[in-house]
Amino acid sequence: DAGVTQSPTHLIKTRGQHVTLRCSPISGHKSVSWYQQVLGQGPQFIFQYYEKEERGRGNFPDRFSARQFPNYSSELNVNALLLGDSALYLCASSLAGRQGFYEQYFGPGTRLTVT
Amino acid sequence: AQSVTQPDIHITVSEGASLELRCNYSYGATPYLFWYVQSPGQGLQLLLKYFSGDTLVQGIKGFEAEFKRSQSSFNLRKPSVHWSDAAEYFCAVGPRSNDYKLSFGAGTTVTVRA
């Protein structure tokens, strides 16, 4: 079975630009979460979506937004990019349910570099 | 405040030797507990999880972890390390609430020497 897939693998953007990152969950998983991992740190939670509804949001500015589609794939959008947004962006998918939401399986990530 | 601490930033171990990585958490109630491994340039792979029940949890790749409520710890162990175990290891916790995010420690980098 295919795992979580993310695209693109890498991208380079300039400050002030906008970026869209994409994620396809494991088949049968209906929840998607996004995390930001800055070099040398653990991942930080950005969003969780379930059945196209936002279920949780981390401490990130409104420049960050996301959505989930009927096929459960998801997009993360970041506007007005800053140098500090350079990071590995990880998508994780999970089943529903109290324990299911927490058992998250991660994709390979998108490496974003802002210059 | 809720927190996850991995006290060891970097551990070097000889191939064939045992490995133990420490993880401590500070939460009001026992959270769900996880260990992930990340190879360079890769995403995170789930090694094992603890929800309830037996406090010694077996995972993939020969890893196990023990939950100790009295110490608020969830340490990861492997009896005999292989060179392929060189990676970064993250402890993560999920509070038993409607907040479904995982909070991660800062990670421990494991180097395996021949």
Give B46-102 pLDDT, tens digit per residue. 999 998 889 999 999 999 999 999 999 999 999 999 999 999 999 999 877 767 789
B99 touches chain A (CB under 8 A): yes
SS (H, E, C) chain A: CCCCEEECCEEEECCCCCEEEEEECCCCCCEEEEEEECCCCCCEEEEEEECCEEEEECCCCCCEEEEECCCCCEEEEECCCCHHHCEEEEEEEECCCCCCCCCCEECCCEEEEEC
Cβ–Cβ of B43/A48 closer than 8 Å? Answer: no
Question: How confident is the model at residue A1, as a pLDDT?
Answer: 64
Stated length of chain B: 114
Taking only residues 49 to 78 of chain B, the set having a beta carbon closer than 8 angstroms to any beta carbon of chain A reads 49, 51
- From A107's Cα to the closest Cα of chain B, the distance in A is 6
Burial class (CB in 10 A: 0-12, 13-18, 19+), A89: buried
List chain A pLDDT tens, one digit each, 115 residues.
Answer: 689 999 999 999 999 999 999 999 999 999 999 999 999 899 999 999 998 999 889 999 999 999 999 999 999 999 999 999 999 999 999 987 777 778 899 999 999 999 9
CB contact under 8 A, A103 and B46: yes
Cβ under 8 Å to B: A residues 70-99: 90, 92, 98-99
Question: How high is the pLDDT of residue B1?
Answer: 65
pLDDT digits (tens, 9 = 90+) for B10-21: 999 999 999 999
